Amino acid sequence: MVNGDAFAVGSVTKGIEKITGTVTEGAGVLQFPSVYAELYKDIAQEGGNWTGDKVFSGGGTYYVGPLYITGDLEVHPWTTVILEGPLYVVGDIKVNQGIIEGEEHILCESNVNITGGFYNAATIPVIVAITGYIDLVGPIVTAVLYAPEGQVRVQMCELYGAMGGADCIVSNAFVRYAQELHGRQDLPGSELFPLTYSYE
């Protein structure tokens, strides 16, 4: 179910799925907003550098960011990561039954795989695969998922937030635009907040 409108350059194919708003086929090609990758990379490096994979496990709570990670970012089951600044990941992002919270950005140069879920509607993170794909399997996730050059696939999930990608697939899932995103100026497409975002 898509709670809102659907636009496609080509056609919108659906079976038992439901789109509550207007379906527009043959729409013009959208210009994808910048992800400000270099800016967030600089901010993350100012906060610190981690060489290799960064793994959060053991069921604890970790406060992280800003941080630049040269390998993968992994969040293991029953472990909570609370973002205090942007994370920039050179490798993959792998979340398995873990939790990510915080009104911040995580950018990765590769792919994002989320299995399990995390839900905190008050502090929605933005997760960006700069050139890769995002694969999400629920049950419940609160996030903004953005893959401007790749596929975003959401299956068996309730996604509270938003999703955007060169190719979007929703399978046995609900996508609900979270009310908490209204007024946020750090989302993809905003030209204001990221340009003045800095840590001292």
pLDDT at 121: 67
- Which pLDDT band holds residue 193 (cuts at 50, 70, 90)? low
Q: Please write the tens of the pLDDT for every residue from 15-25.
A: 666 788 888 88
Distance CA 140, CA 152 (A): 16
From residue 96, alpha-carbon distances to 58, 139, 151, 192 in Å are: 12, 12, 20, 33
Q: Please write the tens of the pLDDT for every residue from 45-92.
A: 999 999 999 999 998 999 998 999 999 999 999 999 999 999 999 999
- Percent of the chain having pLDDT more than 70? 90
Domain membership flag for residue 133: yes
Mean pLDDT of 39-48: 94
Domain membership flag for residue 7: no
Full residue range of the structural domain in which residue 67 is found = 36-178
From residue 46, alpha-carbon distances to 117, 118, 193, 196 in Å are: 30, 28, 18, 15
Domain membership flag for residue 65: yes
Count: domains in the chain: 1
Residue 132: count of CB within 10 angstroms of its CB: 19
DSSP-derived 3-state class of residue 40: helix
Domain membership flag for residue 22: no
Q: Please write the tens of the pLDDT for every residue from 80-134.
A: 999 999 999 999 999 999 999 999 999 999 999 999 877 766 788 999 999 999 9
Asked if 108 and 125 count as a contact pair (C-beta separation under 8 A), the reply is: no
Mean pLDDT of 138-158: 90
Q: Which residue has the tokens 């090609």?
A: 29
Domain membership flag for residue 146: yes
Domain membership flag for residue 76: yes
pLDDT at 125: 92
Q: Which residue has the higher pLDDT, 143 or 193?
A: 143
